[in-house]
Each structure stands twice: as C-alpha cells, then as structure tokens.
C-alpha cells in the first residue's frame, strides 16, 4: 500500500511537550496539530480530519478516558494513542478496552512514539481502504480501457486527460450502456487520488428514508434505529473520488445538502450540529435529462448547475459506428479463449454494423460474448448472432448499402419461389440475363 499524507492531533496540557512533539513528529507526510485541553481538542476535531490522535491521559478539564469516549463517537475512523504517566497502568488498560490503539508511558523515546504513530496510521489506512473496497464495484481493480477511435471518442479521451488531475466535479451523461462507468473510472485513474480506491454508490439503490444517513452518516440516537453512530460514504471517500451514479435518483431533500458539500466542502452527520470538512473529488453520472428534471421540479436547479459545470456526454453507439470494429476486436481478445483466434465473417460484421444497438456497448459486449460460445473454429458467422440483429439487418434497410439491399431482396425472392430464376426475374421486373449477372456479382449460386 502506498504511503499517504496524514494528520495527527497532539493533546497535552504541557506546552513544552506540545512544542517538542510538533517539531519532532512532523515530516513531509505528517502534519501535526496541537490542543491544550479537551474542549479545544473537540472543537478542532469537529472541523478537521485526523488520522491519529496522541492524547494525554491527564487533562485539565476532563479525564482522558472521557475524551477518548467522545473521540470514538465523533471520529470513529481515528486511532487514538494514550500517553500515560507512572501508575496509570489500570487506566491505560481501560483505555484499550474502550478502543484506544495503544498507550505509551512518559517519559517516552521519540523513536518509539514515531513508530507507534506510523503503525496507528497504517491501521487507519487499511480500515479506510476496506471501507472503500466494500463500496466499490467488483471490477474496480481492473484497469479500465476506454476503447474507440472515432472523433467523438478521441475528444472524450482528451477531456478525461485534462479534467482528471483537476479536482472539479464532473457530470457524465449518456444512454444506458454507453460507458459512463468506464469514463468515471478513467477519470479517477488519471487523478492523483488513484492511490486510493474510488468509492462508488448508485443513488437508485439508496433507500429514500436512509439516503441522507448513508451519505453523511449519523450519530447515535439521531433517529429510531440509530443505535450506534455511523460514518457515511462521504467519510469513506475522504481523500479519494466519490462516484455517485444515477444522480437523478437522489431524493430531492438530500440534494440540497449535497450541494452544500460541493460548495463548502463541509457536511453534518444526521443528528449532529457541528460541521466537518472533507476533501473529495466528485464524479456523477446519469442517463436522465437533468435539465428536464429541473424543469419538472424533480432535481435541484442549483445542484444541477454546479455539477453540470464540466459535462462529458458519451454518445450512443449508433452515432459512432466507426468504433464498432475496434470494440469487437477488443471484446474478442478479452472475452475469448487465449488459444483461439476469432474472426467475424463479413456478412456477420455487416449485421453488427447495421444494427442500431439500443443497449449500446453493454449489448455489443453481450452479443460478442454469446457469439464466442457459438463460434466454430473461431469463425463468427450470422448463425452466432441473436435473431434481432439478423432481423434488423433485413428490415432496417435504411442503414444498408443499396447493393446489400438488392442482394437480400434477390435472395428473399429466390427463396420464396423455390429457386426459380425465371419467376424471380419476372417479379423483379428484370430480364433473366440481368438476374444472372446480379447473381454472379453477389456470388449467389
């Protein structure tokens, strides 16, 4: 795991110790903040994110154990190291039971303390990594490839490259199956945040009543059933990318709070008064027409303008058919068996190119996956394609070349007349000779 920058809060009433630790523990990855008592420590903790807290057991205002309990409540993701004096061993053990990471006795060796802080941070990092992975789609670890050589796709690739390192929110729009997830992952991968997994949430899967809590977290007793305090997705995504898919489905009540996070970088857990700050890169996706949703009063207008500031629209596959051959090759190479070289015969490729792909790339992928199974010796023929592709090739003449329409029409009539060429020529209104020429031209025997 790559080492990340993190912050440490030192709580001690002795100024000399605060100064010593501030100086000795800080390094290029570690930022140190200090507090002299519990009250100021809690205030700082509410507005700042700390990974590790070094807490003196004996404080002027409240006992270290009380402060520990409040810290666990306020910032459950933080590891606490207790600093104890002589004869405090019982309390130190008590602190461990209450969830402290470890304790260190005064006077301490700075080296040991340094190591302890480092280890505590490692644990924080692991725990957050797990939280993120739990909220990430299965294929998150695969590196994404955004395939396509059409002009439109090159432009999108250019936009991704430009916007990825910037921290601004991005809205990805487009029909279902066009590759919005792929774009979101590519943005995360191209950003400095890619050392952490991206946190993904599909807003359509949020339960209406719990949406706010799931996003922002809640404190114990905030509502019936809130038996323990809980962190929300924003907390898991701190320092990384939060991909909110199907943003159009987010309940209206929660949209205003999300807008606040985007504007101020701060939020409140449900039932909590104090705000906390987070550092998150937001990516949104939707297949809805959000402008219309705004007009219908179903989407917060200010939020729409905020997230629409950088929009990447992924066009449907039927508008960029020139990408199809490359995508087909890509899927054949990635979905097929290594030992077999697959080939799509021309007539099958015609069907693929002529179809209008309502399910976009997802549908193309499924069709190729199916055709691989049906292929013989790696040859993908029309027989390996689903019926709707063949039918549409027959009916959707508009997308076909004049020649292929003619060929299909001749074939159809020949079939209808049991192969009788004279009849077929009559129906077509051409001479037998012309028909023979055409049969030769189209290699129909």
Ligand X SMILES: Nc1ncnc2c1ncn2[C@@H]1O[C@H](COP(=O)(O)OP(=O)(O)OP(=O)(O)O)[C@@H](O)[C@H]1O
Question: Dihedral of the CA atoms 276, 280, 283, 288 (nearest 10)?
Answer: 0
Sheet strands (E) in 156-313: 170-173, 199-202, 217-218, 230-231, 241-245, 266-267, 276-277, 281-286, 311-313
Q: Shortest approach of ligand X to residue 388 CB, angstroms?
A: 18
Q: Please tell me whether residue 246 binds Mg ion under the rule CB under 5 A.
A: no
Chain position carrying tokens 């949020």: 206
Return the H-helix or E-strand segment holding 349: helix 346-354
Q: Shortest approach of ligand X to residue 362 CB, angstroms?
A: 4
Stretch that binds Mg ion, among 6-14, 92-100, 176-184, 356-364 (CB under 5 A): 176-184
Neighbours of 126 (CB within 10 A): 11
In the bound state with Mg ion, the residue whose beta carbon lies nearer, of 181 and 272, is 181
Q: Shortest approach of ligand X to residue 146 CB, angstroms?
A: 5
Q: Which residues pair with 105 in a beta bridge?
A: 84
In the bound state with Mg ion, the residue whose beta carbon lies nearer, of 205 and 264, is 205
Stretch that binds Mg ion, among 145-153, 175-183, 213-221, 255-263 (CB under 5 A): 175-183
Q: Shortest approach of ligand X to residue 419 CB, angstroms?
A: 43
**276-277 and 266-267: which strand pairing?**
antiparallel
CA–CA separation, 80 and 102 (whole Å): 7
Stretch that binds Mg ion, among 179-187, 252-260, 276-284, 315-323 (CB under 5 A): 179-187
**Can you tell me whether residue 174 is helix, strand or coil?**
coil
Chain position carrying tokens 């009543």: 209
Q: Please tell me whether residue 131 binds Mg ion under the rule CB under 5 A.
A: no
CA–CA separation, 414 and 394 (whole Å): 15
In the bound state with Mg ion, the residue whose beta carbon lies nearer, of 11 and 178, is 178
Residue 145 touches which of ligand X, Mg ion, none (CB < 5 to 8 A by kind)?
Answer: ligand X
Residue 239 touches which of Mg ion, ligand X, none (CB < 5 to 8 A by kind)?
Answer: none
Residue in 74, 77, 80 with CA at minimum distance from that of residue 52: 80
In the bound state with ligand X, the residue whose beta carbon lies nearer, of 90 and 138, is 138
CA–CA separation, 335 and 365 (whole Å): 9
Residue 178 touches which of Mg ion, ligand X, none (CB < 5 to 8 A by kind)?
Answer: ligand X
Q: Shortest approach of Mg ion to residue 243 CB, angstroms?
A: 9
Cis-peptide, bond into residue 384, ω within 30° of zero: no
Q: Shortest approach of Mg ion to residue 177 CB, angstroms?
A: 8
Q: Please tell me whether residue 214 binds Mg ion under the rule CB under 5 A.
A: no
DSSP letter, residue 13: S
Q: Shortest approach of ligand X to residue 211 CB, angstroms?
A: 19
Would you say 319 and 362 are in contact if contact means Cβ atoms under 8 Å apart?
no
In the bound state with Mg ion, the residue whose beta carbon lies nearer, of 139 and 151, is 139
In the bound state with ligand X, the residue whose beta carbon lies nearer, of 1 and 141, is 141
Q: Shortest approach of ligand X to residue 242 CB, angstroms?
A: 16
Q: Please tell me whether residue 363 binds Mg ion under the rule CB under 5 A.
A: no
- Closest-by-Cβ residue to ligand X is 179
Contact positions toward ligand X, by CB under 6 A?
Answer: 145-148, 174, 176-182, 287, 361-362, 365
Structure-block tokens of residue 227: 């038996």
Residue 247 touches which of Mg ion, ligand X, none (CB < 5 to 8 A by kind)?
Answer: none
Q: How far is CA 429 from CA 288, 406, 421, 436, in A?
A: 50, 13, 12, 13
Q: Please tell me whether residue 181 binds Mg ion under the rule CB under 5 A.
A: yes
Q: Which residues pair with 245 in a beta bridge?
A: 202
The string of DSSP letters for 379-415 reads: EE-GGGS-HHHHHHHHH-GGGS-HHHHHHHHHHHHHH
Number of residues that bind Mg ion (CB under 5 A): 2
Residue in 161, 178, 171, 52 with CA at minimum distance from that of residue 113: 52
Q: Shortest approach of Mg ion to residue 166 CB, angstroms?
A: 22
In the bound state with ligand X, the residue whose beta carbon lies nearer, of 177 and 315, is 177
In the bound state with ligand X, the residue whose beta carbon lies nearer, of 88 and 181, is 181
- Closest-by-Cβ residue to Mg ion is 181
Provide the binding-site residues for Mg ion, judged by CB under 5 A: 180-181
């Amino acid at each position: 795991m790559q080492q990340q920058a993190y912050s440490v809060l030192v709580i001690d009433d002795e100024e000399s110790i605060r100064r010593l630790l501030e100086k000795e523990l800080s390094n290029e990855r570690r930022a140190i903040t200090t507090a002299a008592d519990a009250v100021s420590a809690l205030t700082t903790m509410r507005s700042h994110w700390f990974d590790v807290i070094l807490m003196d057991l004996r404080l002027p205002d409240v006992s270290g154990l009380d402060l520990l309990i409040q810290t666990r409540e306020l910032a459950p993701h933080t590891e606490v190291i207790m600093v104890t004096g002589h004869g405090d061993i019982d309390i130190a053990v008590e602190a461990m039971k209450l969830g402290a990471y470890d304790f260190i006795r005064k006077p301490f060796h700075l080296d040991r303390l340094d190591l302890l802080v480092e280890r505590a941070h490692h644990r924080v990092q692991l725990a957050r990594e797990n939280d993120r992975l739990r909220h990430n789609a299965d294929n998150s670890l695969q590196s994404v490839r955004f395939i396509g050589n059409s002009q439109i796709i090159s432009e999108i690739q250019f936009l991704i490259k430009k916007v990825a390192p910037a921290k601004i929110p991005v809205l990805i729009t487009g029909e279902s199956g066009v590759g919005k997830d792929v774009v979101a992952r590519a943005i995360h991968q191209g950003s400095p945040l890619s050392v952490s997994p991206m946190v993904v949430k599909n807003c359509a899967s949020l339960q209406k009543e719990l949406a706010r809590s799931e996003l922002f977290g809640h404190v114990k007793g905030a509502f019936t059933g809130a038996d323990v305090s809980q962190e929300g997705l924003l907390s898991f995504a701190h320092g990384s990318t939060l991909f909110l898919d199907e943003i159009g489905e987010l309940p209206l009540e929660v949209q205003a709070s999300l807008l606040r996070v985007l504007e101020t970088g701060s939020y409140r857990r449900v039932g909590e008064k104090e705000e906390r700050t987070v550092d998150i890169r937001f990516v949104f996706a939707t297949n809805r027409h959000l402008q219309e949703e705004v007009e219908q009063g179903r989407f917060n207008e200010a939020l729409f303008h905020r997230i629409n500031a950088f929009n990447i629209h992924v066009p449907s596959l039927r508008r960029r058919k020139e990408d199809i051959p490359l995508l087909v090759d890509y899927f054949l190479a990635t979905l097929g068996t290594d030992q077999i070289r697959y080939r799509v015969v021309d007539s099958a490729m015609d069907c693929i190119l002529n179809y209008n792909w309502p399910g976009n790339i997802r549908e193309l992928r499924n069709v190729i996956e199916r055709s691989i199974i049906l292929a013989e010796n790696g040859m993908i023929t029309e027989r390996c394609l689903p019926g709707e592709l063949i039918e549409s090739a027959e009916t959707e003449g508009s997308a076909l070349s004049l020649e292929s329409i003619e060929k299909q029409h001749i074939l159809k009539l020949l079939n209808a007349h049991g192969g009788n060429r004279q009849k077929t020529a009559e129906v077509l209104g051409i001479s037998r000779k012309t028909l023979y020429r055409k049969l030769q031209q189209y290699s129909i025997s």
